[in-house]
């Protein structure tokens, strides 16, 4: 059963400018394994994290450090959650994440489907 969906779009140039104005954002938004990526990839991962938050109903208290966007050897993205994000997912009954990310024409886009069993918090 679909527990939640989320989508987000990020203007890559505007995101780059935000990172230049506030360099500490990189450390606040991304885990160490993500921080060395190019701006396009960071924007796509930020869009994915925003989409994940939306799929969870944007609960208060989620820490971006508790959500990683990983890729396998073929380049397919996946969601890895822990601590505050994992707790929010458990509360909504999320068992599986489906993620698609893309960047083209100056935009980064992410779409997330959270799948699992509905709970009283997620119904």
The domain that holds 50 is classified in CATH as: 3.90.470.20
**Mean pLDDT calculated for residue range 80-85:** 95
Please state the pTM of the whole predicted model: 0.90
Binding residues: 8, 50
**Alpha carbons 24 and 44: distance in angstroms, whole number:** 18
Return the pLDDT at 120: 60
The verdict on residue 122 lying in a domain is no
**Residue 50's pLDDT band (boundaries 50, 70, 90)?**
very high
- Decide if 43 contacts 93 (C-beta within 8 A): no
**Alpha carbons 92 and 80: distance in angstroms, whole number:** 16
**Mean pLDDT calculated for residue range 18-26:** 95
The verdict on residue 32 lying in a domain is yes
Q: Which domain holds residue 41?
A: 2-116
**Mean pLDDT calculated for residue range 73-94:** 94
When divided into structural domains, the chain yields a total of: 1
The verdict on residue 86 lying in a domain is yes
The verdict on residue 123 lying in a domain is no
Binding residues for Mg(2+): 8, 50
């Amino acid at each position: 059963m679909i527990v939640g969906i989320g989508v987000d779009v990020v203007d890559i140039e505007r995101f780059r400018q935000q990172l230049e104005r506030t360099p500490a954002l990189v450390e606040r938004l991304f885990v160490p394994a993500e921080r060395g990526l190019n701006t396009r990839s960071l924007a796509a991962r930020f869009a994915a994290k925003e989409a994940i938050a939306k799929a969870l109903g944007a609960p208060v208290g989620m820490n971006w450090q508790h959500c990683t966007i990983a890729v396998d050897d073929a380049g397919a993205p996946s969601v890895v959650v822990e601590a505050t994000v994992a707790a929010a997912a458990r509360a909504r009954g999320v068992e599986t994440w489906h993620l698609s990310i893309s960047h083209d024409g100056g935009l980064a886009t992410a779409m997330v489907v959270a799948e699992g069993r509905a709970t009283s918090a997620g119904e």
